[in-house]
Amino acid sequence: MSYTYTFWFAVAGLLMGHGIVGAGVGAILGFVFDNLRFSQRRSATPESGGYVSPLFALLGAIAKSDGRVSEAEIAVAERLMSRMGLDNGLRQVAIKAFNTGKQPEFDVTGPINALRQWAGLRRDHAFPVLDVVIETVLAEGNPSPEKMAILRQLAFALRISDMELMALMAMKGYVWQGAGGRYGTGHGGGYAPPQRNTQGPDPYAVLGIPRDADDRAIKRAYRKLISEHHPDRLGDLPEDMRKRAEARASDINAAYERIKAERGFK
């Protein structure tokens, strides 16, 4: 555990003219921050196993939700284990959780609540989790309504809006086919799963804005997105999730550059 905040808060208390008492108070406050940072770091590493079990249980449930777990979905889970660098013990945890999740009548509420608790209020942690889950949802191509229902339940729990989820899907080259290009509220009323966009990601969908948005709105949407997805904000997330954030930041930048080129603004 690092005591960086403990040291600097103590120095600040001393320099502010409060002497030994100020240094002591500063050290106490710094120690609290160091402990919080240490706890976040542990919860964000694969070694802790804090998110491995609920994540793979949810992936198993998604894979089974449309009736059959395909080889493509199993391959996605296996690739994820390798990219996350799980040791043999955690790999067995992940496999067991995946097999548990694909059992009939498995309740996804438990793992979704566990992932929400792991992410906390940090949206920069929520987006990488969604990105991992989307990979399984799209493993067989156009996703089924059952898979999308679980994905949207997770997004809601992580405080990610339908519009933001639509933008994440757009980065994968998928567009929503519901009425008016919006997410439906169920399996009826114009609801249809996302479909692959053969022309590539729509830059406006990636930024989560309509095509008739003015230049100021476009710039504002870009700044908000890039601040939320920038890899430098991720702290000690696992390397695989960090790489996903880097890829999303690249997609956001590319979409913004395309729109700027089309509209001719700087």
Do residue 16 and residue 125 come from a single domain? no
Could you say which of 202, 234, 256 is where a domain stops? 202
- Whether residue 222 lies inside any domain: the answer is no
Q: Residue 156 to residues 3, 163, 168: CA-CA distances in angstroms?
A: 36, 11, 14
Tell whether the model's pLDDT for residue 170 goes beyond 60. yes
Domain boundary among 172, 202, 232: 202
103 SS3 class: coil
In this predicted structure, what is the pLDDT of residue 46? Answer: 39
Q: Which has more confidence, 261 or 50? A: 261
Evaluate whether residue 6 is within a structural domain.
yes
In a domain, 219, yes or no: no
What CATH number is attached to the domain comprising 83?
1.10.3680
| Of residues 131 and 10, more confidently modeled | 131
Q: Does residue 211 sit within a domain?
A: no
pLDDT of residue 211: 83
Task: Read off the pLDDT of residues 182-222 as tens digits, 9 standing for 90 and up.
Answer: 433 333 334 456 666 656 678 887 888 888 888 888 888 88
5-62 per-position pLDDT tens digit: 555 555 565 566 556 766 665 566 665 655 555 444 444 443 345 789 999 999 999 9
Question: Which of the residue ranges 120-129, 172-181, 253-262 would you say has the lowest mean pLDDT?
Answer: 172-181
Residues 29 and 127 in one domain: no
pLDDT: which is higher, 145 or 20: 145
35 shares a domain with 56? no
Query: Same domain for 87 and 26?
Result: no
Most confident of 115-124, 137-146, 237-246: 137-146
Instruction: Identify the pLDDT of residue 30.
Output: 60
**pLDDT surpassing 70 at residue 106:** yes
190 and 113 housed in the same domain: yes
Range from 82-86, 107-111, 170-174, 216-220 that averages highest in pLDDT? 107-111
Domain endpoint, select from 202, 227, 246: 202
According to the model, what pLDDT value does residue 233 have? 61
pTM: predicted TM-score of the whole model, two decimal places? 0.65
The answer on pLDDT for 265 being more than 90 is: no
Asked, for residue 74, whether it belongs to a domain, the answer is yes
Q: Are residues 93 and 116 in the same domain?
A: yes
Same domain? For 57 and 31 the reply is no
pLDDT the model gives residue 235: 58
Q: Does 66 map to a domain?
A: yes
Considering the domain architecture, whether residues 109 and 178 belong to the same structural domain is answered as: yes
Residue at 241 is within a domain:
no
2 and 67, same domain (yes or no): no
- Same domain? For 54 and 36 the reply is no
Q: Is 13 helix (H, G, I), strand (E, B) or coil?
A: helix
In the chain, how many domains are there?
Answer: 2
Residue 173 lies in a domain: yes
Contacts 24+ apart (CB under 8 A), 48-52: 49/90, 49/93, 50/118, 51/114, 51/115, 51/118, 51/129, 52/84, 52/86, 52/90, 52/93, 52/94, 52/97
Is residue 78 domain-shared with residue 136, that is, in the same domain? yes
The predicted model gives 115-125 an average pLDDT of: 83
What integer pLDDT is reported at residue 56 of this predicted model?
A: 95
Mean pLDDT of 125-132: 86
Q: Is the same domain home to 91 and 105?
A: yes
Query: What domain range is 29 assigned to?
Result: 1-43
